[in-house]
Structure 1
Amino acid sequence: MGEHTANARFADEVSVEPDYITRARAHALELGAAPVSAAVGSQISVIAAASNALNIVEIGTGAGVSGLWLMRGAPRATLTTIDSEPEHLSAARQAFIDAKIPPARARFITGRASSVLPRMNEASYDVVLVDADPEAVIEYVEHGLRLVRPGGTVLVPRVLAGGGVSDPVRRDPTTVAYRSLIQETQASLAVIGALSIVGEGLLQLTTLRDYSS
């Protein structure tokens, strides 16, 4: 086992998940909703906490696992979560009830993100998580960067595409989209980007503040 593999395995094993998120994870797996790992969940929770997030957008609700992690880090935040699957949204609502998150803290929107996001106010959110429609990830990240305030952060889990992005032979649309996203944002002067290889991978993009005024 290589050093990177051993480190990643250790990080996965030591990640501690609250019971209410573990229950939501089990339900997500039953629905085939593919929740984020506990290792990635703990990272997005820390980022939400460090951002003092009060307004969060989640693109791709799943069954509520990533939303619960975000709210764990930012319990005073209001989460707007978007998904095209009513069954997933229903499961997420129940998961939030089980976690005793006040109903006013979460807004569940049924619909495709490509239709919902253009209607949302720009520079109004602290954190945007993008976890839906991998082939449209670049479009969704562009929306996310428009929606976050200066100094806000866009998070993209699963960005390593199961190891595909590091394999130059892989040219399927999902892998190409994630690979392009990583390369373009790392070269961008508009954001500070970092790529975590823990779990399924997490791309973190924080927009730059304007200190000129």
Structure 2
Amino acid sequence: MQRDDLGELLSEVEGYIGGLFSPQDHALEAALEESRRAGLPEIHISPAQGRLMQFLAELGGARRVLEIGTLGGYSAIYLARALPEDGEMISLELEEDHARVARANLERAGLDTKVEVRVGDARESLDKIQASEEGPFDLVFIDADKEAYPEYLDYALRLTRPGSVIMADNTIWGGAVMDDSDEEGSALHEFNRRLASEGRLSATIIPLLRERVDGLAVARVI
């Protein structure tokens, strides 16, 4: 069976993978519905990507997770489900309204005791985490303002240890990372370039199938 529309094919393939390996349960479906009802932007990760991230967190035995960019808590549910009983996660969100939705979604999923959503500018929150020596974290997931990705990488390196995993969403950005005129794409390209050249990291980008091509950067601190 062939498809003339590449975007349609990508969507169907992603749906096929998600349907097999990440069927949506009540908590995940409700998180999406409540986020839509609250007017949050529909820029959450896909079910297939969520399952991939959960799998990588499980594979690495993550016990402490830091997420930069909460939105409605959809990705936080996947990551928190990878944690052991005594695991913990901090998720940073700029907007109080988004954080309120995320907290409710995490509570519905039975994960509110594992995940703390902190509100404020991510840089300020990261400075406080570093100053209070709350690290190191076993996994850091970056999915926030794209222009700040290179800066977030600096924080991630300071807040992890050898063996920790750093992941970042949107690292292909529909091909914009190869367009010098695109401000967000240029910042993401700089993030990718540094990820590839940083001697403390072993890294790659996993292409993602969405309505457009995107990527999940995955790096291990060595």
| TM-score, normalised relative to structure 2 | 0.83
Structure 2 distance, partners of 1:190, 1:67, is 26
Residues 38-53 of structure 1 mapped to structure 2, 5 A cutoff: 38-53=47-62
Which of the residues 200, 206, 209 maps onto 2:220?
206
Which of the residues 17, 21, 28 maps onto 1:14?
17
Which of the residues 25, 34, 45 maps onto 2:32?
25
Match of 1:82, SS?
strand
Identity %: 23
Contact 2:80 2:115 in 1 (8 A): no
Distance 1:119 1:203, change over 3 A: same
Contact 1:122 1:149 in 2 (8 A): no
Structure 2 distance, partners of 1:8, 1:150, is 36
Residues 31-180 of structure 1 mapped to structure 2, 5 A cutoff: 31-32=40-41, 34-76=43-85, 77-101=87-111, 103-120=112-129, 121=133, 123-165=135-177, 168-180=178-190
> 5+ unaligned residues in a row in structure 1: which ranges?
209-213
Contact 2:162 2:221 in 1 (8 A): yes
> 5+ unaligned residues in a row in structure 2: which ranges?
none
Distance 1:23 1:75, change over 3 A: farther
Structure 2 distance, partners of 1:144, 1:176, is 20
Return 129-138 or 187-196, whichever deviates more: 187-196
Match of 1:198, SS?
strand
Whichever residue aligns with residue 184 of structure 1, its letter is R
Whichever residue aligns with residue 192 of structure 2, its letter is I
Contact 2:176 2:182 in 1 (8 A): no
| TM-score, normalised relative to structure 1 | 0.87
Which of the residues 207, 215, 222 maps onto 1:197?
207
Distance 1:144 1:12, change over 3 A: farther
Distance 1:169 1:176, change over 3 A: closer
Spell out, residue by residue over 1:64-119, the C-alpha distance to the aligned partner (whole angstroms, 9 max, x if none).
00100101222432110111101111111111111112x33121111011111122
Whichever residue aligns with residue 149 of structure 1, its letter is R
Match of 1:74, SS?
coil
- RMSD between aligned residues: 2.3
Whichever residue aligns with residue 13 of structure 2, its letter is F
Structure 2 distance, partners of 1:57, 1:112, is 15
Distance 1:110 1:123, change over 3 A: closer
Count of residue pairs brought into register by the alignment: 205
Query: What displacement does 1:49 show?
Result: 0.7
Query: What displacement does 1:163 show?
Result: 2.7
Structure 2 distance, partners of 1:92, 1:203, is 24
